[in-house]
Homo-oligomer: A and B are copies of this chain.
């Protein structure tokens, strides 16, 4: 299907080191001029880490945006020059000190396609062993290994309020249950 909008111009309206706002002048399908703001952001990775004993590694992450402690899985933006897999391995190492035997690309999604172009990529990391993490200064988190059933319960009940983390767990559910010890 073809693109139903016409783009007349494009400019960066606001920028930061993490994302910027692109403002396009467009013509809507019914012929009217309008402005469309797009939060342009690098792709990101969410990693479902399975320990050698079959438990999953969750993090409890303080999020300044919502002033809340959130159950999540390791995640982060892909940095310039990184492949998706490199970004996934780097986040695993930084956030939980994790090293995976195998890193399996699962699928991808749009995080918030009404306002942003961010693509989130889900990886399943198996045979994970834990060492010391290496958090960034703005990261405040605790590491919680959890039995598979408990982790899936947190996702299914949205006690894990971070949508991409909960989605990643549910998308991996069948595969996780299939390889449970």
Contacts and interface: CB of A to CB of B under 8 A. Distances in A.
Interface stretch (A48-56, A81-89, A111-119, A143-151): A111-119
A119 B120 CA distance: 18
In this complex, the interface size class of chain A, counting residues with CB under 8 Å from chain B, is 35 or more
Interface stretch (A28-36, A95-103, A124-132): A28-36
A1 B60 CA distance: 11
Contact of A115 (B28, B65, B167): B65
How many copies of this chain? 2
A161 interface: yes
Given A107-B158, A140-B4, A41 B115 contact: yes
Contacts of A18: 37, 115
A68 to B, nearest CB: 8
A108 to B, nearest CB: 7
Interface string A15-37: 01011010010101110101011
A177 B161 CA distance: 23
Contacts of A118: 112
Contacts of A167: 163, 166-167, 170
A70 interface: yes
A110 B63 contact: yes
A109 B114 CA distance: 16
Given A3-B62, A3-B67, A113-B161, 20 more contacts: A1-B69, A5-B62, A5-B140, A19-B115, A36-B65, A36-B138, A41-B115, A63-B114, A66-B119, A68-B110, A68-B113, A70-B110, A108-B158, A108-B161, A109-B166, A111-B163, A113-B162, A120-B163, A166-B167, A167-B170
